[in-house]
Amino acid sequence: MVDWSPIAKVYDPLKAGSIDGTDVEPHDRAVWRAIGARYKPNKGVVGDSLLTLYVARLNPQTTEDKLLQVFSKYGDIQRLRLVRDIVTGVSKGYAFIEYKEERSIVRARRDANKLLVEQHELFVDFEQERTLKGWVPRRLGGGQGGKKESGQLRFGGRDRPFRKPIHLGVGLVQEWGGGGGGGGGGGREWDRPGARGREDRDRHRDAEWGSRGRRDDRDKGRERDDRRYRDRSRHRDTR
C-alpha cells in the first residue's frame, strides 16, 4: 500500500481494466488486445513531452484559433496541434498544446479541465504517449476512461483514478465466515468462503421457494379444474 497511487505511474492494460488495479485476469477482449500490442509513439510528434498538454472532448467545430485564444491566457504557447482526419480534414476532437514554461502547463491543467468551450466540457491532462511507460492508445484496447456502455472502461488516469484497494483484517474474515483461509486478510468480502456459502444457501433457498411456488400454482390449477367439472356436472343433473 506504500506505493499505491490513484494515478498510474506505469501503464499496465490489466491494471487499467480494474477499478482498483488489483485484477489478475483481463475482463474484456480489449485488454487482451492491449496486452499483445506493440505500440511506439508517433515519430512525427515534436516538442517537449513534459511541457505538452493533452486536450480532449472538443467540439468538432472548434478551431486552432479558438484553442489559442482559450489556452494562451495560461501562458506562452510554443506549439499547438489540433488532430484532424488526414482525408477529410475534420477535427477528431482532441489536440496537443506545448507551453514554453512548466508553470504555464501546470496552471492550464489545473484550471482548464472541465472548462466549457463551445458547449463542450473539456478534458485536460498531461501528455501520456511519450511520458507514461507502456502506454497503449484506446484504439488498441488501452487508454484510460471510456464509457461503461461500450464495455471498455479504463482506470488509472485523471478522469477515473484507481480506487484504494480494500483490505479486511483477520477478525473481519472470521466474522464473515471465512475461517482461517485468509492468512493476512486481503481481498473482498465476496471472495471469502463464508460469502460463497451464503450465496449457495441463498441460491438453494430461492430454488426451493421457486419450486414450492410452482407446486402451489399446479395445485391451484387442479382445484380450479375440479370446480369447473363439478359445476358442469351439477348443471347437467338439473336439466
Tell me the one-letter amino acid at 124.
V
Q: Is there a contact between 72 and 101 (Cβ–Cβ < 8 Å)?
A: no
Residue 140's pLDDT is what?
92
pLDDT tens string 8-66: 999 999 999 999 998 999 988 999 999 999 888 877 788 999 999 999 999 999 999 99
- When the pLDDT of each residue in the chain is averaged and rounded to a whole number, the result is 80
Most confident segment among 7-16, 172-181, 222-231: 7-16
As a whole number, mean pLDDT of residues 162-179 equals 58
What are the boundaries of each domain within the chain? 13-150, 166-239
CA angle 76, 116, 139 (to 5 degrees): 85
Q: Is there a contact between 157 and 125 (Cβ–Cβ < 8 Å)?
A: yes
Residue 3's pLDDT is what?
77
pLDDT band of 203, cuts 50, 70, 90 = low
Residue 119 predicted with pLDDT over 80: yes
Q: Is there a contact between 130 and 49 (Cβ–Cβ < 8 Å)?
A: yes
Q: Is there a contact between 77 and 68 (Cβ–Cβ < 8 Å)?
A: yes
Q: Is 93 exposed, middle or buried (0-12, 13-18, 19+ CB in 10 A)?
A: middle
Residue 237's pLDDT is what?
55
pTM for the complete prediction?
0.67
Rounded Cα gap, residues 25 and 45, in angstroms: 34
CATH of 13-150, one of 3.30.70.330, 3.30.710.10, 3.40.720.10, 1.10.3720.10: 3.30.70.330
